[in-house]
Amino acid sequence: MKLHDPILTPEESKEFEKSILGDSQLKAYKAMELAGEKLADSLCAEFGKYLGASPSVLGLVGAGHNGGDALVALARICKNISGLKLTVAIPKMQKLRPNTLKAFWRLQNSFSGKNLEIIDISELEKIVGKHFDLILEGLTAMSFTPPMRGDLKNAIISANRIQARLKVSVDIPAGAYTLPQSTVFKADATYATGIAKTTLFYDFNKPFAGRIRYLDIGFFDSSENPYNECKRDFITRPDALEFLKILRPSASDKRGYGHLFIVGGSQSYPGAVMINARAAIRGGCGLVTAFVPEPLAPAYAAMEPSVIWVGCPQDESGALALESFGLIKARLKYASALAIGSGLTASTESTALVCEILKASEPLPTVLDADAIRPQILAAAANRKLLLTPHEGEFLRIAPDTSDCALLETCKIYGCACALKSSITRISDGKNIVRSTRGSPVLSRAGSGDILAGLSGALMCNPNLQSPMDAGICASQWLGISAEKAFYSACSEAPLASSDIIKFISSGL
């Protein structure tokens, strides 16, 4: 089971592509077809409903293979969405590389009616006043190096001025480079075709790349891939969750799929542990038991009867009291994993309670979230499979900053894996970093991290996953895709709550 592929520099990518495709125009065109078709299918699956019926589309096509990818994608989008009106801005035919010209003729020959308009890329400024539903940009690729030609600069400036509901780049936004540039195409989403390049992940390029979607076209399928062992920077594969789709044995028992214990909740944050539990029970666990303050348990049992709710004493602040320890300890022998912290608060008693639970449950795999991510609690959590799921503010309690170096070093210090939540979630075990790019601003709201903690806890019970890092990778991917499905349903990122995302966990597979 392979969960991630390496992220390469543009130079490494060129060399690696060359080793796979050689000088074969046929192989290069087959790769172009696969990349373009996967891009189109992925785009339509996420944004097709958002674009609406009979959308107007502008294709910005360069002379090279990135332009060819865009042309293949445009042809496929036209096939997927009926009534589409297409404008293609492209250089003169004599400037196109052979495979790009081939892709253009195929697009033109497949398009019937009056819904196709071809203009020269140099005339892009003339349509600045028009509005499109989709702009698909394939002007340059990883081979771009400054200084930028005047005609390319003018095309990018014009493209950024044209209004569109969705702007998408093929592989790398035009003008983006390994150093900051003044003129870059500003995309809402970028589809990394075949290889995810480091260019996309520089902080200065993030505002231009938008949502990053990695498209696997088989480049890393070979066991002879030289980069798996020497790289430390990876991206989650699109098929990372395939193992969860396999049929379970017909003679199954709930105990065979793990029993997750959740400890959290308080009068101040009563909803977090409900989100935890609902995510966990949908994450494949056979049993979920949640230990919550006593006043919350009856209502929660009525709201989510699939979970075992155990009411516990609370302290004067409404958080779990230290005297809950005896009740929890008596049941620990039934647990397969722990998920602790969501809605917990940092009360003195609840912190002491968590430390005691961890000391009494040393072998159990554990997820720590939110207020459980503190130095004194991490000290009590030593010598176990441990995954942390902090946002950046919580991570700063245990690390000097949120850089890649700090993430690696913090994981080494505490002997843990960490899924550091952000627009791109970084999962590390102290040796490598895997970037999870799925999801969208749908997740920029309270409660989304509680879903991640619940899914992570469920996956820590899964025997197919070898490590806490694997659980963090799969949980982040699953949450991200679920958020995309929620967006597709609503056609907006605004009118959604985190509890709505839970409804799409099943379709997130």
Highest mean pLDDT among 1-5, 212-216, 230-234 belongs to 212-216
What's the pLDDT score for residue 227?
Answer: 81
Report yes or no: 12 and 227 within 8 Å, Cβ to Cβ: yes
Average pLDDT over residues 99-120: 89
Average pLDDT of the segment spanning 335-351: 97
Q: Report the distance separating Cα 388 and Cα 372, nearest Å.
A: 9
- What token pair was written down for 498? 């985190």
Q: For the residues 14-19, what does the mean pLDDT come to?
A: 93
Distances 486 to 298, 449, 505 between C-alpha atoms, Å: 30, 16, 9
Cα–Cα distance for residue pair 476/241, rounded to 1 Å: 11
What percent of the chain clears pLDDT 90, i.e. is strictly above it? Answer: 92
Residue with tokens 């806490």: 468
Write down how long the chain is: 509
Q: Please, what are the domains in the chain?
A: 4-236 (3.40.50.10260), 257-502 (3.40.1190.20)
Tokens 């542990």 sit on residue:
273
Q: What is the pLDDT of residue 113?
A: 63
The model's pLDDT over 382-394, given as tens digits with 9 standing for 90+, comes to 999 999 999 999 9
Read off the tokens for 451: 């879903």
The SS3 call for residue 67 is helix
Mean pLDDT across the chain, nearest whole number?
Answer: 95
CB 288 within 8 A of CB 277: yes
Distance CA 118, CA 386 (A): 56
Bond preceding residue 147 cis, omega within 30 of 0:
yes
% of the chain residues with pLDDT over 70: 99
For position 228, what pLDDT does the model report? 72
Give Cα separations from 4 to 228, 231, 296, 318, 360 (angstroms): 9, 12, 40, 42, 35
Phi–psi pair at 98, nearest 5 degrees:
-50, -45
pLDDT over 70 (residue 381): yes
Q: What is the pLDDT of residue 143?
A: 83
Q: Supply 193's token pair.
A: 């075709």
Helix (H, G, I), strand (E, B) or coil at 337: strand
What pLDDT is stored for residue 111 in this prediction? 77
Q: Give the pLDDT confidence score for residue 112 in this predicted structure.
A: 66
Per-residue pLDDT at 93 exceeds 90:
yes
Q: What is the DSSP string of 164-206?
A: EEEEEEESS-TT--SS--S-----SEEEEESS-BGGGGSGGGH
Radius of gyration (C-alpha) of the chain in whole angstroms: 25
- At residue 52 the predicted structure's pLDDT band, cuts being 50, 70 and 90, is very high
Q: Residues 226-255: what's their mean pLDDT?
A: 90
Q: Span 456-474, mean pLDDT?
A: 96
Sheet holding 211-215, edge to edge: 116-120, 85-90, 56-61, 131-138, 163-170, 189-193, 211-215
Q: Where is average pLDDT lowest: 45-54, 94-103, 108-117, 479-488?
A: 108-117
Provide the pLDDT for residue 223: 66
Interval 274-291: pLDDT, tens: 999 999 999 999 999 999
103 by Cβ neighbours in 10 Å (0-12 / 13-18 / 19+) ranks as: buried
CA proximity to 81, closest of 56, 113, 116: 56
Output the pLDDT for position 82. 87
